[in-house]
Amino acid sequence: MTDTADAQDAFAPRRAEMVAEIAATARATGAETGRPAFAARVMAAMGKVPRHLLVPDPQVAYAYENRPLPIGHGQTISQPYIVALMTDLIDPEASDVVLEVGTGSGYQAAVLAELVARVFTIEIVEPVGRRAAEALARLGYRNVATRIGDGYGGWPEAAPFDAILVTAAAPAVPAPLVDQLKPGGRLVIPVGGQWEVQELLVIEKQPDGATSTRRTIPVRFVPLTRGK
Ligand code: SAH
């Protein structure tokens, strides 16, 4: 990895094209998502994270296409536009502590790590989680903590969180995740069965603990599986 910096530079123009495509898709879907343009710092993070260093070798050539990619073990790294949308929907602030359920490639965690103080990310498939942890460490993301396990129950020791991102689809919103949100916190989660249209929901916890739910766009994620 001695030439990492050079390799990143070589991919910079493609990353810039990807960011332009994300902006165009955001405009086109703005009426449904309520976000026709994403925050400048979210777009800057999308323009910075070396996605090609988080996908498996056979996918490197496609790393900056605006589509999901296979990462092995039947799992996928989400489409860059969806990563940007989910990131924007939590309104990330520099002091935030964020939980991600479904580490996958580690790409979403890296984008979050550029934007917030601390990221906790949990992955249920051990080799997937281990690979992501290694890649994130290699890229120097020291504010990301990784764990292998069932994220349905959140990460109680690190709670409460300013925001929680779930990157696998659940049939219903897991109650432990709502419990682990701070008042004023945001949970972004695809809800729906594996073969149904899933909806990307934004759940906000009010200062009094009550929650409000907003539907955004239909999405397609791998299912949130349950551990023993
Ligand atoms: N955020 C990822 C993409 C996630 S794909 C990225 O940026 O690449 C969804 C991931 O969720 C898969 O790796 C899958 O193994 C994981 N997953 C599914 N159910 C889970 C659960 N209960 N707890 C933690 N991870 C889970």
pLDDT in tens, 8-59: 578 999 999 999 999 999 999 999 999 999 999 999 999 999 999 999 999 9
Distance CA 216, CA 199 (A): 7
Ligand 1 atom at shortest distance from the alpha carbon of 78: 3
- Alpha-helix residue ranges (DSSP H) falling in 75-188: 80-89, 107-115, 126-138, 175-179
Distance between Cα 141 and ligand 1 center (Å): 19
Cβ < 6 Å from ligand 1: which residues?
Answer: 75-78, 101-102, 104-105, 107-108, 122-125, 128, 150-152, 167-168, 222, 224-226
Cα(193) to ligand 1 centroid in Å equals: 15
Place of tokens 């292998």: 148
Edge-first strand listing for the sheet containing 161-166: 144-148, 118-123, 97-101, 161-166, 181-191, 198-205, 211-219
The answer to whether the beta carbons of residues 169 and 226 sit under 8 Å apart is no
Angle at alpha carbon of residue 96, lines to 69 and 124, rounded to 5°? 40
> 155 and 120 in contact (C-beta within 8 Å)?
yes
**N-term to C-term CA, the chain:** 38
Instruction: Say whether pLDDT at 206 is over 80.
Output: yes
Ligand 1, residues 49, 121, 125: which to mutate, most atoms within 8 A of Cβ? 125
- Give the pLDDT band of residue 212 (cuts 50, 70, 90): very high
Q: What is the mean pLDDT of residues 194-207?
A: 92
Residue 130 CB coordination number (10 Å): 14
- Nearest atom in ligand 1 to the alpha carbon of residue 132 is 8
DSSP three-state, residue 211: strand
Pocket test for ligand 1, best of 119, 188, 224, 228 (most atoms within 8 A of CB): 224
Q: Where are the domains of the chain?
A: 4-219
> Considering the domain 4-219, what is its CATH architecture?
3-Layer(aba) Sandwich (3.40)
Whether 105 is a known active-site residue: answer no
Would you say the C-alpha torsion 106, 109, 114, 119 has a positive or negative sign?
A: negative
* Cα separation, 143 vs 133, whole angstroms: 12
| Greater model confidence, 98 or 8 | 98
Statement: the pTM of the whole predicted model exceeds 0.85: yes
